Amino acid sequence: MTQQDWVRWHDAYDEPGSSLKDRLDIVRTWVGTALDEGAARVVSLCAGQGRDLLPVLAGHPRRGRVRARLVELDERNVAAARSAAPEGVEVVCGDAAVTGSYAGAVPADLVLACGIFGNITDDDIRRTVATLPQLCAPGAMVIWTRGRHEPDLVPAICAWFEGCGFERVAVEGEGTKYGVGVHRYAGPQVALEPAERMFTFIR
């Protein structure tokens, strides 16, 4: 199996009309909504170059009051994210699948899990969803994505979230190649168990 080049993967963000560009626009809209609502602590799993968060944060009036941690394994993407990160944003080169990568940055008000669920097994998706309460403050918004190729797993992922203490806010992308889910954590704060592994990429 050919190893995915996670730097070149970002190229589609720059192609007008591409499904990835359309997905990015929706994610950014929801990031802006979360910041408008007062999100002050943000974590991003498998953050890549931070394109979903950093441009929105840079132009937001509350940017000086937001603290964020982006976790990304590819050193080239880390370098790109760091070059664009404003004050208050920490970009960590590390394994986003390990809960310990978020120690000191959680509980967060906004959790980004974009570009992950299409690259891991269904069991790992369920495990990740079940672990996300450890990263969330009560009322936190979680934004996640998943391609809508058949079999479309988006409805099942929504059910998994809702079985783990989350309430559905929105699901976008029906009839397209992508799905963007937004859930709000309605449960109590859960202590971080720093040695847990949520997922393993299969691509």
- Residue range 89-108, pLDDT digits in tens: 999 999 999 999 999 999 99
Mean confidence (pLDDT) of the chain: 93
Angstrom distance (rounded) from CA 151 to CA 131: 24
Q: In 3D, which of 93, 84, 82 has the Cα closest to residue 46?
A: 93
What pLDDT is stored for residue 141 in this prediction?
A: 98
Q: Residue 19: which pLDDT band, with cuts at 50, 70 and 90?
A: confident
What pLDDT is stored for residue 57 in this prediction?
A: 97
Task: Look up the pTM and report it.
Answer: 0.93
Q: Residue 197: which pLDDT band, with cuts at 50, 70 and 90?
A: very high
What pLDDT is stored for residue 20 in this prediction?
A: 86
What pLDDT is stored for residue 134 in this prediction?
A: 98
Output helix, strand, coil percentages for the chain, rounded to the nearest 5. 35, 25, 40
Determine the residue type at 102.
Y
Q: Which residue has the higher pLDDT, 172 or 15?
A: 172
> Which runs of consecutive H residues, i.e. helices, occur in 49-190?
54-58, 75-84, 122-131, 154-162
> Mean pLDDT across the stretch 4-11?
56
What pLDDT is stored for residue 1 in this prediction?
A: 37
- Residue 10's φ and ψ, nearest 5 degrees, are -70, -15
What pLDDT is stored for residue 2 in this prediction?
A: 46
Longest dimension (CA), the chain: 45
Q: Is 11 helix (H, G, I), strand (E, B) or coil?
A: helix
> Mean pLDDT across the stretch 163-179?
95
Q: Residue 18: which pLDDT band, with cuts at 50, 70 and 90?
A: confident
Percent share of the chain, pLDDT over 70 = 93
Q: Is 70 helix (H, G, I), strand (E, B) or coil?
A: strand
